[in-house]
Structure formats: structure tokens, C-alpha cells
Amino acid sequence: MSPDAPAPSHAVITPLPAPLHGSASVPGDKSISHRAVLFAAMAEGTSRLSGVLDSDDVRSSISAVRQLGAEATLERQPDGSLAGGVTGWGANGPAQPDAPIDCGNSGTTARLLMGVLAPWDVEVELTGDESLQRRPMRRITAPLMKMGASFQPAGRETLPLVERGTRSLRAIAYDAPMASAQLKTAVLLAGVFANGTTTVNEPAPSRNHTELMLPEFGVPTTAADRTASVEGPCTLKACEVRVPGDPSSAAFIACAAALKPGSSVQIENVSLNTARIGFTRTLERMGADVNVRHTGAAGKEPIGIISVAYTPALHGCEVPAEKIASIVDEVPVLALVAAHARGLTVFRDVSELRVKETDRLAAIVEGLGLLGVDAWVDGNDLYIEGQPDLTTPPNLTFDSKGDHRLAMTWALVGLCGKEPVAVENFDSVKISYPRFLNDIERLAR
């Protein structure tokens, strides 16, 4: 498959011909890419962005800011990333779009846009694909309504929604019911233009990319372990953003190396934000040979190298509830690793997985069941009884349910095992990691 070839909808994934060896880089971080595009659109002047992830989700954000009046000239680079300029609307605010904004499959686009739009006299319909229209939005609309924005139809908890902003937005102190970087970011972005201090307190730490990036755009931000605040009103100023590699994408290469006998890989130029590399600590708890080394920074984001080698004797572990926010996107692939480990692995309080692109919790149990692995949910906890000698039955077909993380997880069954597997709706990998198969296969040559 060529690097630019479209991912097939139904893919047959064959075992890798050799162990994974050498160095790899992964596409730009999806969370940081979204924020770079959106913050640049909000700013005065032209920001220069590089390393931006070229994926369906990020293109949803790029398309959205163009509809709202920003100029975004981001072009594909030889390494597959996007780079270029974004000229924002600044103090004038976003333009009134002449059509609904389609956020595709991107929950980040939809939820962050709600915060972006809240301080302005615009009326915007936000919608998305069938999957996104099932995902909960009340967690975002509730605090924004407290600040003065309104949403129609009243009481609806899912897209499509029409948001009406206001220039007289109120600053609030909000105790979030869950650790969610999207919720936190939406409220803080609205708070940038509200009068006074807007604070978000969380029950557990969530990703802090917003707190690290806002000061780069000239917004004073206070951040601690479970709280963040901004002082408004404030105008964002254009800046330069270099997006590091995505640790969530790196996790799939790391887990492949841990599972494929004889493998040893380095993943370079990847974000080492502590809120994002919980998967490395979980692999360590399972006994995997993992090393993390800092080499520098991209803005305020730490970057470096993640090294992983095959580990023949993995063991089960318990991942406490307070650590789940740092691995929420990696639980599916970590569950696959747990299926190969000796003993029981428990992921505590993973209820958030029920409201991702699909019900990932049910999908994990279903997929591991096809492998003959005992996996079950008790309350909000996921249990997996590992099998160190696990082998793949022939003629398996996994349904990714259109979820990119599941598509890559089930692909690893074929890549790292001895039997090919089929993955339905494999083209969903375009959401976050279009060149996933190419990168893995290149390491096994």
C-alpha cells in the first residue's frame, strides 16, 4: 500500500514478516493540532503552524474556521503533515456562517467550537456524522449556558444544536463532573472573552494542552493539578506553533513492539506530556520493556523518544480510576496487551469509554471474546483474564464499528499474530492515523 493510498473499508491484515526494528515517527498530535487551528483562528494576525496532523478530524476543524471567517492556507508537506498560515478574526469575532458547520466525526471540533462561539453575537448550527450525533454534548452546553450562551432545541443533549452566543458572557467558577479536557477547554475559551476570572476545577487531571498553548497566544493562564483559569477579556495574538508527534498514535507502535517477538523500536519526536503518556506507565506495570527519554520541547510541550522492546513475560495489573484520563484513548490497545499477560488486569472506572466514537467498552469485550479471552464489565470496571500463550483462531473478522482506535487495535491481532484477520470499516483509521499500516509494515522489513 502506498503512503497516500486510501485505507480499505474491509481490510485483511496479514502477519508481519519480521520483528519490528528501527526508528519511527508518528503524525502530529491530534489534540494539539485541533487547538493550534482553533486558537490561531481566534487570534489577531497570522499564525504559522507546522507538523499539523492531516486527518479527517483535523480537517473538520480547518473547514469550520474557514466557514467562520478565518483564512487557513495549510498545505500538505513531504512528511504527510500540514503546514502554513492561519489568519484569525481577532477582536472582530467570527463571521456568521451561511450554513450549518459539519464537524464530521470530530467531538473535539464540536465541543471546542461551542466555547469559541459563546462570546460572540452569532447563531450557528453545529452538526456531525451519525456517530458524533450520538455523543453527549450536555457536559459542554451546561456550563456555557451558565455563562450566558443558549442552545436550541432546549434540553437536547446531542447534535445537531444551534448555539447563540453573547458579547456579555459571564465568567464562572465551574466544578466539572468529570475529568474532560474538551469540557475544560470549551469553558476556558469562552472565558477568554468573559469579564472576570473563569475557573474550571476537575475531579482528576485531564490533558493540559490548552493551558500550555494559550500563553503562547498571549493569554495569561493559571494552571495547577486539577484546576485551570483565565482572566478575561483578553485578545489572542498570532504566534508560531510546532505540533509534536501524537502519543496516542505512538501507543499502537509501542504495543505492537511489546507483543511481536524479537521487536525493538524507537518512536521519535513524540509529545511526552505527562497527561498523555499514561500508556507507557501501564505497559511498565505489566512488565514491558519501556523507556522514555526527553530530548527537547515544542513550545511548552515536552518531546522525546519512547523505546519499547518485546517482552515475553507480561503480567496483569490494576489501573486505578485516577489514571484513566491519561490513557482513555489507549484502553482498547492496552486491553489487547492485557489479553496476552499472565493473570488479571483491571481498568477501574472506564465509563467514559461508553460514550466515545462507539461504545468502546462493549466492543473490547466483544473483540477479545472472539480471541477466546475472558473479558467482562462489572459496574464501570473492565476485567481481562490474560492468556500468556494466546493464539489467534483462523478466519476471524473484527468489526471496528467505524472507530479508529478499535480498527488499529484489531489490526494488531493480525500484524503481531500468526493468522490473518479481517477488520471491517478499517478506513476509520483516517480519523487519526492515515498511514498506520505503512508505518508498522516499514518497521518489519
Q: Where are the alpha helices (DSSP H) in 195-330?
A: 209-213, 247-259, 278-285
* pLDDT mean over 118-122: 98
Please check whether residues 144 and 53 belong to one and the same domain.
yes
What pLDDT sits at residue 325? 86
Residue 52: phi and psi, rounded to 5, are: -65, 135
Task: Name residues whose C-beta falls within 8 Å of residue 87's C-beta, 6 or more positions apart in sequence.
Answer: 45, 46, 47, 70, 71, 72, 238
**Is 6 within a domain?**
no
pLDDT of residue 246: 97
Q: Are residues 306 and 353 in the same domain?
A: yes
Total-model pTM? 0.91
Residue 53 belongs to domain with CATH number: 3.65.10.10
* 389 within some domain: yes
Reported confidence tier of residue 356, pLDDT bands at 50, 70, 90: confident
What letter represents residue 37's amino acid? V
CB atoms within 10 A of CB 11: 22
Statement to judge: residues 47 and 159 lie in one domain:
yes
Whether 38 maps to a domain, the answer reads: yes
Q: Which pLDDT value is given to residue 127?
A: 98
259 and 119, same structural domain?
Answer: no
Burial of 290 (0-12, 13-18, 19+ CB in 10 A): buried
Please indicate, yes or no, whether residues 64 and 18 belong to a single structural domain of this protein: no
292 phi, psi to nearest 5 deg: -120, 125
Q: Indicate if 277 and 230 belong to the same structural domain.
A: no
Average pLDDT on 63-75 reads 98
Quick one: 261 and 118 in the same domain? no
Do 216 and 331 share a structural domain?
no
Residue 15 and residue 105 in one domain:
no
Average pLDDT, the chain: 95
293 marked among binding-site residues: no
* 35 annotated as belonging to a binding site for a ligand: yes
Q: Look at residue 184 in the predicted model and tell me its pLDDT.
A: 98
Domain termination residue (choose one: 191, 218, 242)? 242
The pLDDT, as a whole number, for residue 7 is: 52
Model confidence at 2: pLDDT above 60: no
* 360 labeled binding residue: yes
Domain end point (choices 210, 242, 274): 242
The answer on whether 405 is annotated among ligand-binding residues is yes
For residue 433, tell me if it sits in a domain. Answer: yes
pLDDT digits (tens, 9 = 90+) for 239-271: 999 999 999 999 999 999 999 999 999 999 999
Ranges of H-type helices in 192-242: 209-213
- Could you say which of 57, 102, 246, 329 is catalytic? 329
C-alpha–C-alpha distance, residues 317 and 215, integer Å:
38
pLDDT at 400 over 80: yes
Range of the domain at 206: 30-242
Is 2 contained in some domain?
no
Least confident of 59-68, 89-98, 246-255, 318-327: 318-327
Residue 329 is among the residues annotated as catalytic for this protein:
yes
Domain count, the chain: 2
Cα separation, 300 vs 317, in Å, equals: 32
Is 1 part of a structural domain of the chain? no
Of 242, 275, 307, the domain-final residue: 242
- The pLDDT assigned to 214 comes to 97
- At 211, is the pLDDT very low, low, confident or very high (cuts 50, 70, 90)? very high
**Separation in Å, CA 392 to CA 188, 192, 333:** 47, 52, 16
Query: Is position 374 annotated in a ligand binding site?
Result: no
Looking at the structure, tell me whether residues 268 and 344 fall in a common domain: yes
Kindly list the distances between the CA atom of residue 116 and the CA atoms of 36, 119, 176, in Å, as whole numbers in the listed order.
Answer: 13, 7, 18
> Per residue in 103-116, pLDDT tens?
999 999 999 999 99
Residue 439 in domain = yes
State whether 253 and 402 are in the same domain: yes
C-alpha separations of 265 from 20, 161, 444 in Å: 6, 45, 10
Q: What is the pLDDT of residues 13-28, one digit of tens each?
A: 999 999 999 999 999 9
Instruction: Please report the pLDDT score of residue 383 as a whole number.
Output: 98
- Convert the pLDDT of each residue in 269-298 to its tens digit: 999 999 999 999 999 999 999 999 999 999
Q: Is residue 116 domain-shared with residue 229, that is, in the same domain?
A: yes
Judged against a pLDDT cut of 70, whether residue 210 lies above it is answered with: yes
Asked, for residue 419, whether it belongs to a domain, the answer is yes
Residue 140: predicted pLDDT = 98
Would you say residue 404 has pLDDT above 70?
Answer: yes
Tell whether the model's pLDDT for residue 3 goes beyond 50: no
76 is in an annotated binding site: no
